[in-house]
Structure 1
Amino acid sequence: MTALLRHLFLACLLAGLSLPALADELPPLSRQLAGGSFEYTVRPGDFLIAIGARFGVPAELLAKQNAIRYEAVIHPGQRLRIDNPHIVPELLDDGVLINIPQGMLFHFSQGKLVAAYPVGLGKPSWPTPRGEFEIVSRVKNKTWKVPISIQEEMRLEGKAVLEEVPPGPDNPLGAHWLGLSMPGYGIHGTIAPSSVYHFRSHGCIRLHPDDIAELFDQVKVGTAGRLVYLPVLLAVTADRRILLEVHRDIYGKGIDPAQALRDIAEANGLSGDIDWPSASAVIAAQEGLAREVGRLGRNLKGTQ
């Protein structure tokens, strides 16, 4: 990237503008975050895995943030620090964006981020597909008609084989179902909230019961959506910080996070602004949270 083009890009980025002529050539670069830091008071029945699932933080990291053992018993009234910043992969005009490795769903309306929710997704042996979709149905208290493939899994695991499960406390779909134009897939609730922010489903997208109830009321049939697979995310904030978020390549697609970062940084003229040792540490940790790895323009003099 030439010095002139780099200056043009940085000026547009800081002004909140884009470069339409180059947009198709650039890997994703975000300017928006979801989440942050706050204090949470433990409720009766809480445990670290469930709290982490609720707020999109790995339970091991939640324990580390609060200087407690992962196996520690927590008590109602205990206060925990939650630090859960996530990079929004891209902005949509309207609709739903789900980034599979990130385990997050982002809802947009009129070009603005309305909400961000942790989600549970397909296990590696039963992956959630990528692609465009539309919401084609909205159903409360849906009967689960068990697919033949899952019936066969039940049989192989020695479980009772069910053909359908009526609404109620044993229905894994929970109380809300948003059917997708991808046949057999949906966004739904769960009777196991601690399974959210994990990869344990048969490909569907699970939300915490409170989150799916909120999303259900905000979307309609015809709402567009997109499922993407982006384990490496880079963002530049309004205060010029460069943030990096790295997740496991959960479906084993052979993505090299270091090379992915280099490609994004080079394409966006940020290579000289990144603190590469810090970036390497973020890549090695793969914590799944946005971390600062540089500051925009810190090496700008070298391009003049």
Structure 2
Amino acid sequence: MENGRNVTEFILLGLTQNPKMQKVIFIVFLALYMVTLAANLLIVVTITTSHALGSPIYLLLARLFLIDTIYSSSSAPKLITDSLYEKKVISFNGCMTQVYAERIFGGTELILLIVMACDRHVANCKPLHYMTVMNRKLCIIFVIVTWTGGFLHTTIQILFTIWLPFYGCNIIDHFMCDLYPLLNLVCMDTHSRGLFVVANCDFICLLTFLLLLVSYVVILHSLKNHSLEGRHKSLSTCISHIVVVILSFLPCIFVYLRPVITLPIDKAVAIFYTMVSPLLNPLINTLRSTEIKNAMRNLWNQKVNLHNK
């Protein structure tokens, strides 16, 4: 037995066992995934190539959309390809790799949202000092902190999971590997492990979510001192960020802030935060940002001009 286990692979039950519905799932989620990749990468390219989008908030947004792209790719391709097969199998190492990828990119994104809230606080409460405070060096430090935090958060959880005793049952009633479905297969009392997952993930997630909401309330309150035009611009940006925070944090809180049990609705929630939310994030920020829309228009015009020449 290796690593205290004899399970070398897991069988995923997926979203449905109906062959006709699996074909529908393949078409729908392939289209959804391709649109997600196109939308996120388009904005990342737009921000990185546009001189007009040199503000720190756009640099942070580019990293958010890049993380969304990779995060969605940690589970979507497996779901799409599995819909073509009756038996959906993933190796033990592949399962742990998928869990690690989901956790590190999901955790890094949540920390990045905290950094973006700090950026908005400085931009609205100390606008005259914004470029001085949010300088390039500080932005690089913030990026390092987000990845370090995501790495530590994920590594601790995966080390507690990979050595657990998996014997016999290897059927996961899900379309991907996740901590709670895996803990339900462990041949030991996982109550303490479940409490650790909740403490390490959702208590922190819930506390951070509440702090973020309070910070945005403070930011919105500070807008009363701005001009009408400045207030409208800041309000538009803050509302976009608040919506992204809600879309990112609430599914995490719902799934993990409870005992180690799995519910039928967990699959729908997982679809939302792994595929729908990464698509909505760039749309929400793009539709409400005149600067990004203008930069995308200029980028398109440049490509058209080069093609004509």
TM score, norm. by length of structure 1? 0.26
Tell me the TM-score normalized by structure 2.
0.26
Higher helix share: 2
Which of the two has greater strand per residue?
Answer: 1
